[in-house]
Structure 1
Amino acid sequence: MNQIQASSAGKPATVSARISPMGGLDILSRNEVARLRGASDSGLHALLRRCALAVLTSGNIGDDPRAILEQYPDFDIQVLQQDRGIKIELSHAPAQAFVDGQIIRGINELLVAVVRDIVYVSTQLEQVGSGLDGSAGLTESVFDILRNARILAPHIDPNLVVCWGGHSISREEYDYTKLVGYQLGLRWLDICTGCGPGAMKGPMKGATIAHAKQRRLPNRYIGVTEPGIIAAESPNPIVNHLVIMPDIEKRLEAFVRIGHGIIVFPGGVGTAEEILYLLGILLHPDNAGIPFPLIFTGPRESAAYFEQIDHFLRLTLGDEVAAHYQIIVDDPASVARAMVKGLDKVRQNRLDTKDAFFFNWALRIPLEFQLPFRPSHEAMRALQLHRDRPRHELAADLRRAFSGIVAGNVKEEGVQAIERHGPFDIDGDADIMRALDKLLRAFVQQHRMKLPGGTAYVPCYRIVTH
């Protein structure tokens, strides 16, 4: 029987309930259930609790990794093994996830995705062991996680558009993402994002209306996240396929393996990290000639943002990098038409090379883009941000620099490191440092580092200038 606890002394209302999972998780082994219960050595229960709470507060606007746990300190989740399958027991769960005492179906499905992915990554992939050491093994692990999550869809022509962009964007920019999503949906395209708010929600919201007008079913609104991100940015409620990758590098690889084209909206350091990840891969000589449509777009008010990004990319990686992307300002229909044209090239290339439509096996992703980067003060100081390196290697370290700033801004581990030891130092060639400093200052001035409200943003980094 569900129990509803009313809010008191400023605390939000909560619900305790035992629910039957929906969405493809019927049974677990006794060992899997045991790994998810209690404060075991594996630490899976703490991870499960953190990710589950993010899903149960789906739709919340925030980017503080501690805020939700502080708001619901008594929340707990247990997975119970029963004769007829499993049950999920929730204690002091956010009442917003329930209607008249019953959990919302979409949230139930996302909760199941959390349990599924945490169990799978911790058990199945651990058994692979040293097979994950090489580049091919890491790609296989990404494939296995996506297949287990039922993200890979065979027998469908290339139609999955990945949309990147910031969670902290202006109202004009958010409305523009919806307009682009609407134009994509009218052209029968599916949407994949990082699953959070802002530019990750807008394209999905626009596409839902267009898909409804086209009477198109089923539709895929895929959210790809990882534990450090989901804890700070709850999934938006439109996501109907959620997958939690074990780290940011596998998350980024998942985007480029399953996506057939990428649209980038205005964002902050996380968006810059994603851009550098993809461009670093496309700049690798082994990937020459592989079509991958990449479009930067935003409303007229955001034109200066893309000028800054374009300038930074050209300065650090050379003018040739611009051949890999288009910039289209304030024209959602043109963005959609350009993407459709790009997807036609992707389809023909996959047919010619006999590559799968559902997973881009042909793309070479070097090991330096796959190995997890753990942002620490030592690791950030060790980055080689020098122009005399091969462009794809410089892009890999620039990506790591932005990844460290993301961690210092919104990830619990990074926030704690900054509190203990002060800001990260970032050093490199003088002109690269000046350009980086200018770009980051612009992000701060445009409120792209953190959601507005609360205290003023305090940088978690220090650019070493010469």
Structure 2
Amino acid sequence: MNAIQFGEPVSGKTVSARVSPAGGLDILSRNEVARLRDASGSGLHQLLRRCALAVLTSGNLSDEPGTIFEQYPDFDIQVLQEDRGIKIELKNAPEQAFVDGRIIRGINELLVAVVRDIVYISTQLESGGFDLDETVGITHAVFEILRNSRILRPQVDPNLVVCWGGHSISRDEYEYTKRVGYQLGLRGMDICTGCGPGAMKGPMKGATIAHAKQRRKGNRYIGITEPGIIAAESPNPIVNNLVIMPDIEKRLEAFVRLGHGIIVFPGGVGTAEEILYMLGLLLLPQNQEIPFPLIFTGPQQSAAYFEQIDRFLRLCLGDEVSRHYRIIIDDPAAVAHAMVSGIDKVRNHRLDNKDAFFFNWALDIPLPFQQPFRPTHEAMASLALHRDRPRHELAADLRRAFSGIVAGNVKEDGVRAIAEHGPFVIDGEADVMRALDDLLKAFVAQHRMKLPGGTAYEPCYVVRT
């Protein structure tokens, strides 16, 4: 598979500058500034530096954790309190973030989002503003983070389509995501993705052209990420609303609370994790009557990919699971038409039930779907991957298995754990393990695990078949 290359290679050249934040960050307290400058284990400086460098290297071609820090070992960022407000001081920052010595406006806005979310979340956690021990409290935290980011818009009809899919996809698949985004944009849809390259960038790129043709203003290209992912998948330059959630589970909840429908493009283990999260929720009896359009789509060459995903889901979760999604191959207009029709049902349902358009309060998300999963070797080995369990529980544990592989592939902590202790061991029911092993081997063969280039992919897992 010939993989698409995204953006320009990072040059390694640097610029030092002091910039004024572009919107969304008016003032900070002395305590907040001090915490952002604190480089100790309890401070926020290392987290700020990691996320800021990811934003400044938008278009980076590597998904190896730590690579950008090797290219820019002397990079630093400081938030300064001055008499007229906040300044952001960048030392040895990537040259690609500047034009004629001035920071690019869009990158400035994403940098502000990084500071905003890091400060807000840490302050709320420190003060006990978030109750993360029970379901209502976690959903409240997700809502508050999204509200603080100024993304929730009242009095706007449902029109936000979440697009999931891989960062390592073929040129044909990438072009197809753009065509789908174009059809969505022509119909007035906004786009929300994981904010990275590949299937996270293509729909936004297609929608921008369609929005321009329709002379549509106030368009939203929302990117939702988390600290463990952002360094490996820098935000693409089209994102105009960036949110950094505390962990992958709150990121997933943000997608389904914020979006009105989901389109899934070809991807790898991260995409499989997202699919299983969504289906796990839709399989819950209390969510059976809630409309939520879910469409799998890709070009003709991806038909076999979705056939294999469909077989895997039916084997693990039963044939009935297929009623929760629709597969449309090589027809962007049909995808957009089906999504608009599905979102009309969402609108009517929320009107009937007096639910908000901007946040899906009615969807029931149990605590096991919300609690952060730390993919240690012990935790991965203890997953109960057997079909004699309730289907939504099996879906939740399968989601955790894929989440662990994502961590072992691209997250700094996961990569370090694999280097120290060897691959994760995944065990369970024989038929499920054989199907899982076949699926993962297909991902490897199709170069869906990592961006091509460099050394050959070494699996961070062993599936006991």
Same fold (TM over 0.5): yes
Residue 86 of structure 1 corresponds to: 86
Match of residue 200 from structure 1: 200
**Are 2:99 and 1:99 equivalent residues in the alignment?**
yes
> What residue in structure 2 maps to residue 26 of structure 1?
26
Give the aligned partner of residue 290 of structure 2. 290
Instruction: Provide closer, same or farther for how the CA distance between residues 198 and 130 of structure 1 changes in structure 2, counting only shifts above 3 A.
Output: closer
Partner of 1:161 in structure 2? 161
- Which amino acid letter does the alignment assign opposite residue 407 of structure 1? A
Aligned residues: 456
User: Equivalent residue of 1:132, what SS?
Assistant: coil
- The one-letter code sitting in structure 1 at the alignment partner of 2:365 is I
CA distance in 1 between partners of 2:11 and 2:317 (Å): 50
Amino acid at match of 1:309: I
Q: How does 1:79-228 map to 2 (within 5 A)?
A: 79-128=79-128, 131-228=131-228
Change (3 A) 1:464 1:43: farther
Name the structure 1 match of 2:395.
Answer: 395
1:14-67 CA-to-partner distances (Å, cap 9, x unmatched) read 001010001210100000000000313424110000000000011222211111
Tell me if 1:355 matches 2:358: no
Aligned to 1:366: 366
SS of the equivalent of 1:174 reads helix
Match of 2:410 in 1: 410
How much does 1:156 deviate? 0.5
- TM alignment of 1:308-323, pairs within 5 A: 308-323=308-323
Query: Is 1:125–1:141's contact at 8 Å kept on the other side of the alignment?
Result: no
Alignment-derived partner of residue 443 in structure 2: 443
Specify the SS of the correspondent of 1:415.
helix
Q: Cα deviation per residue 1:333-368 (whole Å; 9 max; x = unaligned)? A: 000000000000000000011000000000000111
Per-residue Cα deviation, 1:119-168 (whole angstroms, up to 9, x for no partner): 00000233236722100000000000000001111111000000000000
Contact 2:355 2:361 (C-alpha < 8 Å) held by counterparts: yes
Q: Which residue matches 2:7?
A: none
CA offset digits 1:245-299 (Å, max 9, x no partner): 0000000000000000000000000000000000000101110110000000000
1:6 — aligned with what?
none
Q: Deviations over 1:309-342 (max 9, x none)?
A: 0000000000000000000000000000000000
Q: CA deviation at 1:83?
A: 1.6
Q: 2:36 maps to what in 1?
A: 36
Distance (whole Å) between structure 2 residues aligned to residue 149 and residue 162 of structure 1: 17
Q: Write the letter of the residue equivalent to 1:321.
A: V
Percent of residue pairs bearing the same amino acid type: 81
2:424 aligns with 424
- How far residue 11 of structure 1 moved from its aligned partner, in angstroms, is 7.1
Q: Distance in 1 between matches of 2:343 and 2:434?
A: 37
For residues 145 and 332 of structure 1, the distance between their equivalents in structure 2, rounded to whole angstroms, comes to: 33
Stretches (4+) displaced over 3 A: none
**Does residue 279 in structure 1 map to residue 296 in structure 2?**
no
Residue of structure 1 in register with 2:4 after alignment: none
Q: 2-side partners of 1:171 and 1:377: how far apart?
A: 35
Distance 2:43 2:440 in 1: 35
Contact 2:276 2:396 in 1 (8 A): yes
By how many angstroms is 1:450 displaced?
0.4
Cα distance in 1 for partners of 2:433, 2:122 equals: 39
CA contact (8 A) 1:13 1:95 kept: yes
Instruction: Name the CA distance, whole Å, in 2 between partners of 1:161 and 1:415.
Output: 32
Q: Does 1:76 align with 2:56?
A: no
In structure 2, the partner of 1:3 is none
| Partner SS for 1:448 | coil
The C-alpha deviation readout for 1:148-205, integer Å capped at 9, x for no partner, is 0011111110000000000000000000000000000000000000000000000000
Amino acid at match of 2:84: R
Q: Would the aligned equivalents of 1:51 and 1:230 in 2 still touch at CA under 8 Å?
A: yes
Tell me: CA distance 1:117–1:130, structure 2 relative to 1, closer, same or farther (3 Å): closer
Q: For 1:81 and 1:42, how far apart are their aligned partners in 2?
A: 21
TM-score, normalised via structure 2 length: 0.97
SS at match of 1:131: coil
Structure 2: which 5+ residue stretches go unaligned?
A: 1-9
How far the C-alpha of 1:441 sits from its partner, in A, is 0.3
| Structure 1 length-normalised TM | 0.97
Check the 8 A contact 2:130/2:138 in 1, yes or no: no
